[in-house]
């Protein structure tokens, strides 16, 4: 008897509580949106695949035919201390305009003073089997014989390259030491914070691909025209970690 | 009388029809019990558990059908079972190196497929880190199946049998690479061999001859360091002293890690069903178990850089070799080799 009585009381309390839980948050959960746009450039020029010629630090001319990379684990740091984090991965591909815009939803209201993300794919996701969406092996950013994602692909031609057809190709990946090419990128926004207030904000980032060829390691097309496994991969990874910068922040509510 | 005869022939026809239809769809007999995984007694926890790939009869049947279907190869001539034959514990019996599409010869011996969920990596060099993504390799390899995953998906989407198999397995009409790979892993992951005479002996359900007992004893002191029970591998990479084949020049694990000392090391293979997975080693260089033991028994044979635990083996007498071989043969698991759950659903007997 006592037991059934207890259960009855418990259920009544539950019934009273549940609606409050499920109704109140809905009002509060109208959250903001952030659209991140990537502008791909080679120094000061807008990237144009296959047609435009550019020059590297050594004065060697080159053109680009492919430029793709993975981003994930986006983290927005707020002054109020309530951060936003999303583990999702995005494949940004110069050849696919829509992939250069990333939309994050359900961002809590707040002033965000920095954004960080990884270029690459976290080690767990490199080891845990067949994936779909951005991480589908069909996206041709996957090594099958030595399992792992290719974090960044940069391909093109340079007259000085000694590979057939003057090709160069840098396929950079690897999640294990000694050749771990995952790089964390953190960009400061204190001067121009993202202010989320139930509305949309826009962040424009610049991806300067000439950084991949420049510093700290100068890439000479006539010496290093192909990186497709762990050998030399971290030379390039140490370069690409500096390729992003903030162009602008626009907050709709301002 | 006449009526009786008619009656009998009708019954016979009836029996024949049921019999035939049974043969046509062996999958009908697979039940939930057949695909339920329980960790065998004395085995460690598997590395691949089915937590993120929940086993179901429909997914298993889909995986099995894919495994045996030529549709995965470019010219519809090769399936996984072409190289991985059930009666040879899913190795390729009597083939030194693998034989693929367009009659092309590969560079490595086809390993047995068994107890894969306890492995921590796949292939002789351990280059593949998860069972689910392994099939991409043979499918896209130009000398194995020479296909693309994209094209396999296109073919599957056009095939009404697969449209229905995928729908049964996943309750909607999406056919994608993830589902293809995960269903294959349900089939390959359940290829478990634990019913050999050795297993029965360990569980006190069978007895060994004197020679087999002696062989086991020798094995424990000389071989088990690498071929560790109950899986008969410790999942490590070792150089077991065989000399490099200068034509194939296979650097093994070194190719994956890029580390010098890993060159010419290979994943220690399991020795379960070893009797019928000949020829032996990553390049199939030895035809018989006696040749393998002659190798281990003669240190002058060894490549430099051989694993030092090989020195424990020392010289083996002919009797010792015979005993070890007698023991190795107790690892043959007939129940596994003829298990109907794993057999080719495309085979028609009449």
Determine contact, residues B105/B150, Cβ cutoff 8 Å.
Answer: no
**Does the structure show a pLDDT above 70 at A27?**
no
Flag whether residue A230 sits within 8 Å of chain B, measured between CB atoms.
Answer: yes
Cβ atoms within 10 Å, residue B314:
11
Sign of CA dihedral B302, B304, B307, B313: positive
Phi first, then psi: give them for residue A126, nearest 5 degrees: -80, -15
Nearest to B176 among A132, A145, A147 (CB): A132
Q: What is the pLDDT of residues A196-254, one digit of tens each?
A: 999 999 999 999 999 999 999 999 999 999 999 888 999 999 999 999 999 999 998 65
Q: Which two tokens stand for residue A184?
A: 């964390």
Instruction: Give the distance from CA A96 to its chain's centroid.
Output: 15
Q: Which residues of chain B have pLDDT under 50?
A: 1-3, 6, 10-23, 350
Q: What is the per-residue pLDDT for B305? A: 86
| Cα–Cα distance measured from residue A222 to residue A158, given in angstroms and rounded to the nearest whole number | 8
pLDDT reported for residue A30: 47
**pTM of the entire structure?**
0.89
- pLDDT over 60 (residue A12): no
Which domains are seen in chain B, by residue range? Answer: 38-193 (1.10.760.10), 197-334 (1.10.760.10)
Residue A24 lies in a domain: no
pLDDT digit string, tens, across residues B265-304? 999 999 999 999 999 999 999 999 999 999 999 988 888 8
* pLDDT, position A54: 97
Say if the Cβ atoms of B52 and A179 lie within 8 Å. Answer: no
Whether A194 shows a pLDDT value over 70: the answer reads yes
Which pLDDT score, from 0 to 100, does residue A252 have? 82
**Structure confidence at residue B192 (pLDDT):** 98
Q: Is B344 exposed, middle or buried (0-12, 13-18, 19+ CB in 10 A)?
A: middle
- Rounded Cα–Cα distance for residues B280 and B289 (Å): 8
Supply the mean pLDDT for chain A: 89
The 10s digit of each residue's pLDDT in A143-153 is: 999 999 999 99
The ipTM is 0.86
pLDDT on residue A38: 98
Asked, for residue A38, whether it belongs to a domain, the answer is yes
Taking contacts as CB-CB distances below 8 angstroms, the residues of chain B near A127 are 129-130
A26 in a structural domain: no
Q: Are A79 and A129 in contact (CB under 8 A)?
A: no
In a domain, A25, yes or no: no
Is A144 part of any domain? yes
In terms of Cβ atoms closer than 10 Å to its own Cβ (0-12, 13-18, 19+), residue B62 is buried
Q: Give the residue on B whose Cα is nearest the Cα of A134.
A: B178
pLDDT at residue B24, as a whole number = 52
Mean pLDDT within A103-122 = 96
**Structural domain total, chain A:** 1
Residues forming a β-bridge with A179: none
Q: Rounded CA gap, B167 and B54, in Å?
A: 16
pLDDT at B118: 98
CA distances from B301 to A210, B245, B306, B311 (A): 54, 14, 10, 12
pLDDT (tens digit per residue) in A57-95: 999 999 999 999 999 999 999 998 889 999 999 999 999
CB contacts of B132 in chain A (<8 Å) are 129-130
Q: What is the pLDDT of residue B4?
A: 54
* pLDDT value for B138: 97
B53 touches chain A (CB under 8 A): yes
Helix (H) or strand (E) holding A216: none
Going by C-beta distance under 8 Å and a sequence separation of 6 or more, which residues neighbour residue B134?
Answer: B122, B123, B128, B188
> Does residue A18 lie within any of the structural domains?
no
The two tokens of residue B249 are: 């020049």
Which pair of structure tokens corresponds to residue B119?
Answer: 């492995």
**What residues of A are in contact with residue B130 (Cβ under 8 Å)?**
127-130, 147
Is residue A127 less than 8 Å (CB to CB) from chain B?
yes
Residue of A nearest to B150 (CA): A138
Beta-carbon contacts of A230 under 8 Å, excluding residues fewer than 6 positions away, are A174, A178, A179, B257, B258
Within a domain: residue A17? Answer: no
Does A84 fall in a domain? yes
User: Which residue among B136, B182, B258 places its CB closest to the CB of A137?
Assistant: B136
Contacts of B151 in chain A (CB under 8 A): none
Range of the domain at A90: 32-251
Measured over the CA atoms of residue A220, residue A222, residue A224 and residue A226, the dihedral's sign is positive
Residue A17 pLDDT exceeds 80: no
Q: Give the pLDDT band (50/70/90) at residue A115.
A: very high
Backbone CA torsion sign across B163, B164, B166, B167? positive
Tokens linked to B19: 């019999």
Distance in angstroms (rounded) separating the CA atoms of residues A15 and A12:
5
């Amino acid at each position: 008897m006592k037991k059934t009585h207890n259960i009855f009381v418990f259920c009544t309390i539950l019934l009273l509580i549940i609606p409050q839980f499920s109704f109140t948050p809905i009002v509060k959960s109208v959250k903001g949106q952030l659209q991140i746009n990537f502008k791909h450039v080679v120094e000061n020029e807008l990237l144009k695949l296959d047609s435009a010629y550019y020059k590297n630090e050594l004065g060697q001319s080159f053109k680009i035919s492919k430029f793709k990379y993975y981003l994930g684990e986006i983290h927005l740091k707020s002054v109020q201390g309530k951060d936003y984090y999303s583990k999702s991965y995005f494949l940004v591909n110069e050849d696919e305009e829509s992939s250069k815009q990333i939309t994050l939803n359900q961002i809590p209201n707040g002033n965000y003073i920095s954004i960080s993300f990884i270029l690459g794919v976290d080690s767990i996701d490199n080891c845990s089997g067949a994936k779909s969406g951005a991480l589908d092996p069909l996206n041709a950013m996957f090594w099958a014989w030595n399992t792992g994602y290719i974090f960044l692909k940069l391909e093109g031609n340079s007259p000085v390259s000694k590979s057939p057809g003057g090709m160069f190709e840098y396929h950079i990946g690897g999640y294990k030491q000694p050749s771990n090419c995952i790089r964390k990128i953190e960009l400061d926004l204190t001067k121009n914070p993202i202010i989320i207030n139930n509305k949309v904000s826009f962040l424009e980032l610049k991806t300067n691909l000439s950084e991949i060829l420049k510093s700290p390691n100068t890439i000479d097309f006539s010496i290093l025209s192909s990186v497709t496994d762990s050998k030399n991969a971290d030379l390039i990874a140490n370069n690409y970690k500096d390729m992003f910068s903030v162009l602008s922040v626009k907050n709709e509510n301002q | 009388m006449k009526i009786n005869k008619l009656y009998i022939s009708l019954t016979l026809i009836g029996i024949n029809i049921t019999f035939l239809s049974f043969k046509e769809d062996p999958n009908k007999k697979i039940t939930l019990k057949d695909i339920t995984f329980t960790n065998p007694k004395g085995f460690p926890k598997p590395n691949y558990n089915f937590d993120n790939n929940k086993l179901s009869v429909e997914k298993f049947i889909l995986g099995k059908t894919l495994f045996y279907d030529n549709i995965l190869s470019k010219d519809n001539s090769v399936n996984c079972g072409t190289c991985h034959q059930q009666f040879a514990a899913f190795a390729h019996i009597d083939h030194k190196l693998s034989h693929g599409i367009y009659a092309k010869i590969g560079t490595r011996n086809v390993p047995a497929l068994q107890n894969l969920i306890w492995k921590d990596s796949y292939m002789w060099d351990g280059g593949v880190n998860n069972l689910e993504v392994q099939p991409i390799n043979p499918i896209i390899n130009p000398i194995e199946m020479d296909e693309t995953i994209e094209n396999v998906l296109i073919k599957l989407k056009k095939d009404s049998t697969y449209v229905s198999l995928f729908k049964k397995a996943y309750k909607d009409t999406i056919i994608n690479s993830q589902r293809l790979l995960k269903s294959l892993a349900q089939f390959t992951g359940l290829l478990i061999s634990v019913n050999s005479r050795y297993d029965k002996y360990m569980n006190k359900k069978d007895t060994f001859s004197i020679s087999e007992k002696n062989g086991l004893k020798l094995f424990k002191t000389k071989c088990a360091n690498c071929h560790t029970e109950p899986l008969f591998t410790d999942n490590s990479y070792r150089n077991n002293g065989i000399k490099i084949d200068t034509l194939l020049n296979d650097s093994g694990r070194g190719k994956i890690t890029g580390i010098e000392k890993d060159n010419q090391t290979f994943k220690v293979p399991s020795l379960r069903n070893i009797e019928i997975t000949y020829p032996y080693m990553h390049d199939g260089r030895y035809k018989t178990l006696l040749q393998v033991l002659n190798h281990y028994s003669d240190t002058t044979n060894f490549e430099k850089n051989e694993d030092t635990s090989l020195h424990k083996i020392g010289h083996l007498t002919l009797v010792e070799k015979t005993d070890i071989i007698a023991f190795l043969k107790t690892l043959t698991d007939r129940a596994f080799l003829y298990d109907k759950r794993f057999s080719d659903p495309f085979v028609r007997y009449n």
